[in-house]
Amino acid sequence: MRSRFDEQLAVLNREMIEMGALCEEIILKVLKALTEEDSQLLKGIPSLGAEIDRKERTIETLCLKLLLQQQPVARDLRQISAGLKMITDMERIGDQAEDIAEIIPFIENRPEAADALLHDMAKAAIHMVTESVDAFVDQNVELARKVIKEDDVVDHYFTLIKQTVIREIAKAPGDGECSVDLLMIAKYLERIGDHATNIAEWVVFSVTGIHKEA
């Protein structure tokens, strides 16, 4: 019975890794489209978003089967429950990337300073997503706590971009719409960082039984 349960947990871990990889891929594609100013690169974004949604449903079904058929207790129960919470955050990460993709085709006359900061912010957010999923699979509390701390880095980038945008609007009010679009992209990246933080917090819960909100 235990060996069968462990096999199903291994399947759950693989599915989580695949969903995390899809989230990473969609952010990377959006980032490339943004930095190369090529909206043609966005064509695959809707299908990636749909695949993330399908993964969420697959993992949700798997988790519910584990809960109903295996009746896990203690740490096993927490791990499965955390997985259910995490896929909601990963699905929202995909949504945020799609929101960014919708803005990119309309951006013109972009300030270079904000562009560079957005690139670095996106890389930091992607790193958080990757590490948060790795922490779940490895049940690594220290890595999860590292991800939680890294949210401060993403938040700092958002503050820098906001300040840059304010300066650009002051210098060239006519380009204000572009600046606001860049600020919206930064806000979506900040939310991606928040979702990665949520994932990491559920990892801590799955191992220790303690959640930040408790």
Per-residue pLDDT reduced to its tens digit, 148-162: 999 999 999 999 999
CA distance 206 to 203: 5
**pLDDT tens-digit map of 19-73:** 999 999 999 899 888 888 788 889 999 999 999 999 999 999 999 999 888 778 8
CA distance 180 to 171: 14
- pTM (2 d.p.): 0.91
CA distance 167 to 15: 44
Q: How confident is the model at residue 3 (pLDDT cuts 50, 70, 90)?
A: confident
Higher pLDDT: 179 or 163? It is: 163
pLDDT in the model for residue 80? 92
- First-to-last C-alpha distance (Å) of the chain: 33
129: amino acid identity, one letter = V
The fold of 2-208 is Methane Monooxygenase Hydroxylase; Chain G, domain 1 (1.20.58)
Helices (H), the chain: 2-35, 45-65, 74-103, 112-138, 141-171, 176-208
